[in-house]
Amino acid sequence: MQIVAGDTKVVQRGKADGLYITTAGVGTIIPGAEVGGAYAKPGDVVILSGPIGDHGIAVLGARGELGFESDIQSDCAPLNHLIAAMLEASDQIHVLRDPTRGGVASALNEISQQSGVGITLWESAIPVRPAVQAACEMLGFDPLYVANEGKLIAIVGAEDAEAIISVMRQTKYGEEAVFIGDVTEFPAGRVLMKTAYGSTRVVDVLAGEMLPRIC
């Protein structure tokens, strides 16, 4: 027997007395589609399918760990139809990644290292809901490192970027898709951020324990 999928969950002591369901998707490989973390190229554009941080903050709220009332909802969503529409629209989709554990920052650092390229983000373009931003500021979290469950990062060829994001915005789970950065040749293996103040800072890999711990 070949194991093709699996998952683990980390819960608080004494809390693992409910039902936990793991699902695995099975599909076909699309001929000619080459998508992977090592395929980002200088000149590519980075697309994010919507606001970040909802899931991680919603988990904290559900556990009663925020210390205040919040109506933030998890962004859990099936993305298969969104991805199918994107792949049908263009053959210039080089990378698709779900920014779950470690958030957008960790996912992009992995991609930059796998592809041997630099990635520059535009701080003002990264969407964060006001309630999530407020919770992160109170708790000392950076939304870039907070987990997401129903969002995706796409790195695509610049020539097809407008067509791809247009298709995304016509789907239920891609309505809020935005461009958040581009791929550069240097510095290879690093992610940089152009801040709202005009300066540039390094977006490093996650240091220490991810909070909240969800998987």
pLDDT (0 to 100) of residue 42: 98
Q: Which CATH architecture has domain 45-202?
A: Alpha-Beta Complex (3.90)
Residues 52, 103 contacting (CB under 8 angstroms): yes
pLDDT per residue over 128-172, tens digit each?
999 999 999 988 899 999 999 999 999 999 999 999 999 999 999
Q: Which residues of 66-90 are buried (b: 16+ CB within 10 A; e: fewer)?
A: beeebebebbebebeebbeebbebe
The domain locations on the chain are 45-202
Cα dist from 57 to 22, 40, 98, 137, 141, whole Å: 22, 30, 17, 12, 10
Question: What pTM, to 2 d.p., does this model score?
Answer: 0.87
| Distance spanning both ends of the chain, measured CA to CA | 25
Q: What is the rounded average pLDDT of the residues 23-44?
A: 86
